[in-house]
Amino acid sequence: MTDSHTDHPHPDHDDRSPTPAERAARAAEALRAAEAAGAAAAKAAEAHKARPARPTAAPAGQAAPDAGEGLAALTDLFEGTGVPAPLAGRAAARLGPGAAAALRADPWRLLRVPGVAPAQADHFARRLLGDGARPDDPRRGRALVLHLLTEAAREGHTVTPAKEVTTALERIGVPDPRAAVEAALDEAEVLALTEEPEFDEDSFEEDADLPEPEETLGAARWALAEEAAAEGLRRLTLTAAPLLDDAAVRELRSGLPEDRSLALTAALRTGVSVLRGTPGDVERAGVEIASAAAGRGVRAAVATPTDRAAADLARELADGPPGPPVTSLHRLLEPREDAAAVPGAVVYGRGEQHPFDLDLIVVTAAAGLDVELCAVLAEACADGTHLVLCAREGDPPPAGPGRPLEDLEASEAVPVVTLDAPPVDASGDPLGVLAAAVRGGELVAVDAPGREVVVVPAAGPGEAAHRAVQLVTDSIPRALGIPLEDVQVVAPAAGGETGATALNAALKARLNPGPGKFAGMDPGDRVVVAAPLPQAAVGETGVVLGGGAHGLDVEFPGGMVTLSPAEASRLRHGWAVPVALGRGTPRPAVVAVMSGDGLSRPVVATAFGLARRHLSVVQAAGPALARAVRDVAAPPRRTRLARLMTG
């Protein structure tokens, strides 16, 4: 290839990558420390006290939503106040069956619905309250505080400096920003957190001005999840005992390369370990660890991000010896529908009161775990369970808030093993050559005689969309024999002229035109889960079968499900997906539409790495693509997990 969220490197990251020897030394040192902690495992397990599970239902004493208030009541309310009708489904999904009553009591709760701006919520409040809608209304102030923190969470942050929040409140016309913050704190949906300052060598000088602790604010949902994740992961490190005796471990390690030997030892002897490597190789190493342990009687399982990824991995392993079960993490956690759950949340059957019946869990694509899913996973692991988190080197942070895997590595509280990159056959593996070059910060031209990699230049957004449609509907099926259903279009982001939303509009017009009769969808539409559902994990794709008053019928890899109108609002068209939703589920053919929006090295590497057999790159970014690969890292995120792991 030729030159062709803009981000900057995280200020806390060292620009110099450690050498293989340094990595091995660090991993070995972490192993020794973890083994020392493991010697006290029995005592720690005895002393460990169970922590009450995080609530997923309304607090005790709070009235349950009136079941009679449903989508119809919400639609009537919106019609009377001039709110666009399509917003009703999203509002019902986020606010629950009592949404209409809740909005009458507090119209600024509308800000909890994704896509609603403060000015729109103010307009709704004026239509509903008339002269009673005042800028200094405490309901407005606390709603705006939570809205700002939620917007920050969409950028990955779990905490935000209080000064930034009050400054933003001033900009949007809140008369007393501090009073608004206090009102939000009183509702317990926002937490005040003190961040201890970082000390450097100059801080210890006799006349040095010591930095003051910084007050930060966090939405309780994510702040508490981050604390729960840290507590659960610390518990697993403290209560772990070796899964096999030393003789068995030595036997399994015999003949293994040093990197794989370290990875196996970390998995069998420590409660939590991180395994990094190249696409394909790190997944194979994780499966090998689980298989080796299962062969010695250890109860092991491999968990993938989606059912589709699990089915693909299981097929790859079918010709080999019997191994551990492979399933999606979503399925492993046993999701269930619960009417009492917080709207938008998924209740899982596995948790602190009903943990996994497993000794070892290997999680693939673990860089995609946000703080909430990480907390759920950690809480579902019994004392003594070993957790191996596998990820590709250079993976971007998760779609949701936080960066658990990076924070775990930064905490140095668990062993991190980086696998040596296997040699790449420049003539026989063009996809591997390109992926390796991008991970190293270079965009290169590759020799692909079998058309494994094809670059399609595009002069602008319109041409990029046209080229993508042409590749999906004609070129790839006709020239390569890969059926349309095995082709996935990916873009760096959802928005923008060449984002996933715009590309889906062009693909639907060509593949399955229709009025969007059922929740914006028509039978035959490909969809992707964009927000948690009990029936399918985020990032899972399916096909709409039909719909009606009963809901929307969708065929997912795990089977047909019927979604309520509120649940259906969590779907998006899925012929094209943002990289954040497509990650972790490779497809036979990928069309990566690269424009100037949202480009970074991790995003490009992930997009290219999703292709199993063929990659078409629609190059609409010009020289910006090479610059992003060379210079742009993932954007920094404000999180607490690294400090919580060592606190």
Does pLDDT of 201 surpass 70? no
End-to-end CA distance of the chain: 47
Residues 6+ apart with CB under 8 A from 32: none
Mean pLDDT of 442-469: 95
Identify whether the C-beta of residue 107 lies closer than 8 Å to the C-beta of residue 129. yes
The conformation of residue 473, written as its DSSP 8-state character, comes to I
| CA 395 – CA 392 distance, rounded (Å) | 6
pLDDT at 21: 47
Residue reference for tokens 């005895």: 46
Does pLDDT of 339 surpass 90? no
pLDDT at 85: 83
Phi, psi angles (nearest 5°) of residue 145: -60, -50
Is domain 430-631 classified as CATH 1.10.3720.10?
no
216 - beta bridge partners? 161, 193
Of 6, 48, 74, 87, whose CA–CA distance to 520 is shortest?
A: 87
pLDDT at 208: 59
CB-side exposure of 536: number of CA atoms within 13 Å? 30
Residues 6+ apart with CB under 8 A from 19: none
| CA 303 – CA 318 distance, rounded (Å) | 16
Burial grade of 87 (CB within 10 A; 0-12, 13-18, 19 or more): buried
Collapsing DSSP to helix, strand or coil, 482 comes out as coil
pLDDT digits (tens, 9 = 90+) for 524-572: 999 999 988 999 999 999 999 999 888 899 999 999 999 988 889 899 9
User: Predicted confidence band at 19 (pLDDT cuts at 50, 70, 90)?
Assistant: very low
Phi, psi angles (nearest 5°) of residue 614: -145, 140
Q: What is the pTM of this model?
A: 0.86
- 94 φψ region: left (φ > 0), alpha (ψ -120 to 50), beta (else): alpha
pLDDT digits (tens, 9 = 90+) for 84-137: 888 888 888 888 888 999 999 999 999 999 889 999 999 999 999 999 999 999
Signed CA dihedral, 349, 352, 355, 359: sign only: positive
Phi, psi angles (nearest 5°) of residue 362: -105, 120
Residue reference for tokens 């913050």: 181
Mean pLDDT of 302-308: 97
Of 190, 230, 530, whose CA–CA distance to 371 is shortest?
A: 230
What DSSP assignment string belongs to 211-231? Answer: PPPEEEEEEHHHHHHHHHHHH
Does pLDDT of 305 surpass 60? yes
| CA 150 – CA 221 distance, rounded (Å) | 10
Identify whether the C-beta of residue 645 lies closer than 8 Å to the C-beta of residue 411. yes
pLDDT at 44: 37
CA 219 → CA 105, 181, 635, distances in Å? 22, 12, 20
At residue 251, what is the residue type?
Answer: E
Mean pLDDT of 245-266: 97
pLDDT at 318: 81
Identify whether the C-beta of residue 555 lies closer than 8 Å to the C-beta of residue 523. no
Burial grade of 607 (CB within 10 A; 0-12, 13-18, 19 or more): buried
Does pLDDT of 57 surpass 80? no
pLDDT at 46: 41
What DSSP assignment string belongs to 368-429? Answer: G--HHHHHHHHHHSPTT-EEEEEEETTPPPPSSS--HHHHHHHHT-S-EEEPPPPP--TTT-
Does pLDDT of 12 surpass 60? no
Of 62, 86, 54, whose CA–CA distance to 380 is shortest?
A: 54
CB-side exposure of 226: number of CA atoms within 13 Å? 29
Residues 6+ apart with CB under 8 A from 553: 544, 545, 546, 547, 560, 561, 562, 563
Does pLDDT of 493 surpass 60? yes
| CA 584 – CA 170 distance, rounded (Å) | 41
Three-state SS letters, 505-543: HHHHHHHCCCCCCECCECCCCEEEECCCCCCCCCCCEEE
pLDDT at 150: 96
pLDDT at 49: 36
Percentages helix, strand, coil for the chain (3-state, rounded to 5) are 45, 15, 40
pLDDT digits (tens, 9 = 90+) for 495-513: 999 999 999 999 999 999 9
Collapsing DSSP to helix, strand or coil, 5 comes out as coil
Identify whether the C-beta of residue 588 lies closer than 8 Å to the C-beta of residue 415. no
Higher-confidence residue: 393 or 67?
393
Domain 240-422 CATH (choose: 3.40.50.300, 3.30.420.10, 3.30.70.270, 2.102.10.10): 3.40.50.300
pLDDT at 209: 66
What are the boundaries of each domain within the chain? 71-195, 240-422, 430-631
Mean pLDDT of 401-421: 96
| CA 364 – CA 285 distance, rounded (Å) | 10
Collapsing DSSP to helix, strand or coil, 457 comes out as strand
101 - beta bridge partners? none
Collapsing DSSP to helix, strand or coil, 483 comes out as coil
Identify whether the C-beta of residue 427 lies closer than 8 Å to the C-beta of residue 434. no
List alpha helices for 473-613, DSSP H: 476-480, 500-511, 565-568, 579-582, 601-609
240-422 matches 430-631 in fold: yes
